[in-house]
């Protein structure tokens, strides 16, 4: 397993994949560590998360540079990612006891009925390369807080990040076996899901990978959470402030070099502001600096791998062949590394690749519509349903519009984002289940119903009679 810098092609380090014996040892260690970790008071588990948050903040520059070297995100964004991981650890350190407290439900006058939330055991996480720390920690923090133990199968191009995550958790006090990184290929995931020691699985990844994991987990009757791809609409209504909205549009499309499931990808614009928006949007994209992401002034780095850039370029070419207009970019840059420039497609046919497929890179597809109804129909005309945003001068109008989106995360006058305080996840082919907030920590617990009947002993005494002592004088 090799780590390389996509910006330069430089080989960073080689890692030996874990053998079957090593994976088996990790599974045994997780199963052995689970009972003691689950039985520790939740306040103790939360103190470990608090320490992890401190370490992540202290090492934000170190880990940020590691992310940049391995997958090419701009270094400022990488440092911010490490800080966001600290935030999610702090969030659950503070809120997990409340999120997992017993839920008392009134039923009968003489009964106490409640739902308790108890951990399941070892949970397998299959994570992608594009947010190599954040997407792991938004699973790890609630899983460990709830008393589960975790196994991470990370993407093969970010092994350094995977081992750094293990390092920071170990240094924070997570006990041996309660968290382990597995350096293995994707072909070994099925066997892990089928293993009796693994009690649940979560994946963030492509639709194809999610279908495979969901199918295997379903066959094993194990709970799963799937956070898959997206083709998020960015709807610009006729009363939106054009210049400000265009600036937000550029940020929403280019975040993480365009390699984000929740990046805005389809820009659906009312005809009254279409021309002015396209002009402003193009100016914003043209102003972005493309270059080596270790440079603090760079806005857009390389794509994470050469094959990913080639796939993206193929989507652009097919869209142009289908009738789209190439208004900006559209050709790989003639330089070392898989650099693709900010690219703008206008007049995009609704059956073109940029309209029907997820474009995982800095490519924006713009569509013109005549009214709000047409905008909503086009926004929802996708197999995906992860995020969506609408932009308007009237927030109340925006909220009414957002309620009609077929997506899991809907925003008004704000780019789609994940936030520890809010549930995160999608519908349709974007997956199922939720991460973050209270909903996320309750995905991998046994929501156990408990009924405690009061007055039973007294009723038994009445029925049997208090005056019928046995031979030693006690009441039978």
Residues catalogued as catalytic:
227, 261
Does the CA dihedral 463-468-471-473 come out positive or negative? positive
3-state secondary structure the chain: CEEECCCCCCEEEECCCCCHHHHHHHHHHHHHHHHHHHHCCHHHHHHHHHHHHHHHHHCHHHHHHHHHHHHCCCHHHHHHHHHHHHHHHHHHHHHHHHHCCCEECCCCCCEEEEEEEEECCEEEEECCCCCCCHHHHHHHHHHHHCCCEEEEECCCCCHHHHHHHHHHHHHHCCCCCCEEECCCCHHHHHHHHHCCCCCEEEEECCHHHHHHHHHHHHHCCCCEEEECCCCEEEEECCCCCHHHHHHHHHHHHHHHHHCCCCCEEEEEEECCCHHHHHHHHHHHHHCCCECCCCCCCCCECCCCCHHHHHHHHHHHHHHHHCCCEEEECCCCCCCCCCCCCCEEEECCCCCCHHHHCCCCCCEEEEEEECCHHHHHHHHHCCCCCCEEEEECCCHHHHHHHHCCCCCCEEEECCCCCCCCCCCECCCHHHEECCECHHHHHCCCEEEEEEEEECCHHHHHHHHHCCCCECCCCCEC
Residue 438, classified by CB atoms within 10 Å of its CB into exposed (0-12), middle (13-18) or buried (19+), is middle
* Nearest CA among 21, 20, 1 for reference residue 11: 1
Residues 6+ apart with CB under 8 A from 142: 92, 96, 435, 436, 440, 441, 443, 444
* Burial environment of residue 459 by CB neighbours within 10 A (0 to 12, 13 to 18, 19 or more): exposed
Positive or negative, the Cα torsion across 135, 136, 140, 143? positive
Q: Give the residue carrying structure tokens 């590394």.
A: 337
């Amino acid at each position: 397993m090799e780590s390389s810098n996509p910006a330069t092609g430089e080989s960073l380090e080689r890692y030996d994949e874990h053998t079957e014996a090593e994976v088996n040892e990790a599974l045994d260690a997780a199963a052995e560590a689970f009972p003691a970790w689950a039985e520790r008071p939740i306040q103790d588990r939360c103190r470990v998360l608090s320490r992890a948050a401190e370490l992540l903040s202290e090492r934000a520059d170190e880990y940020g540079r590691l992310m940049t070297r391995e997958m090419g995100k701009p270094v400022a964004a990488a440092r911010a990612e490490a800080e966001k991981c600290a935030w999610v650890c702090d969030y659950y350190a503070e809120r997990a006891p409340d999120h997992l407290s017993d839920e008392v439900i009134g039923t009968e006058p003489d009964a106490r009925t409640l739902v308790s939330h108890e951990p399941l055991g070892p949970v397998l996480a299959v994570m992608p390369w594009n947010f190599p720390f954040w997407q792991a920690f938004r699973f790890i923090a609630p899983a460990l807080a709830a008393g589960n133990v975790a196994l991470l199968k990370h993407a093969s191009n970010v092994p350094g990040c995977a081992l750094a995550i293990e390092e920071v958790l170990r240094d924070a006090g997570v006990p041996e076996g309660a968290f382990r990184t597995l350096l293995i290929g994707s072909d070994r995931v099925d066997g892990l899901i089928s293993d009796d020691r693994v009690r649940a699985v979560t994946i963030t990844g492509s639709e194809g990978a999610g279908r495979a994991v969901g199918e295997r987990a379903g066959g094993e009757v194990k709970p799963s959470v799937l956070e898959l791809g997206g083709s998020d609409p960015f709807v610009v209504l006729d009363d939106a402030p054009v210049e400000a909205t265009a600036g937000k549009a550029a940020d929403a499309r280019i975040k993480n070099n365009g390699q984000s499931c929740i990046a805005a990808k389809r820009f659906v614009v009312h005809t009254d502001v279409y021309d002015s928006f396209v002009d402003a949007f193009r100016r914003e994209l043209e102003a972005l600096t493309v270059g080596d992401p270790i440079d603090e002034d760079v806005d857009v780095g390389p794509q994470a791998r050469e094959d990913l850039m080639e796939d993206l370029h193929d989507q652009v070419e097919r869209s142009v062949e289908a009738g789209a207009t190439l208004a900006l970019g559209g050709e790989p840059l003639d330089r070392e590394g898989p650099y693709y420039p900010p690219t703008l497609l206008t007049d995009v046919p609704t059956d073109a690749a940029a309209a029907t497929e997820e474009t995982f890179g800095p490519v924006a597809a713009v569509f013109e519509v005549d009214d709000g109804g047409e905008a909503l129909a086009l926004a929802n005309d996708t197999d995906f349903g992860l995020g969506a945003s609408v932009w308007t001068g009237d927030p109340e109008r925006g909220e009414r519009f957002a309620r009609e989106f077929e997506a899991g995360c809907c925003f008004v006058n704000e780019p789609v984002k994940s936030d520890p305080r809010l549930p995160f996840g999608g519908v349709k082919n974007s997956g199922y289940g939720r991460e973050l907030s209270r909903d996320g920590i309750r995905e991998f617990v046994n929501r156990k119903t408990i009924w405690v009947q009061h007055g039973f002993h007294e009723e038994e005494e009445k029925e049997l009679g208090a005056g019928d002592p046995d031979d030693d004088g006690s009441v039978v």
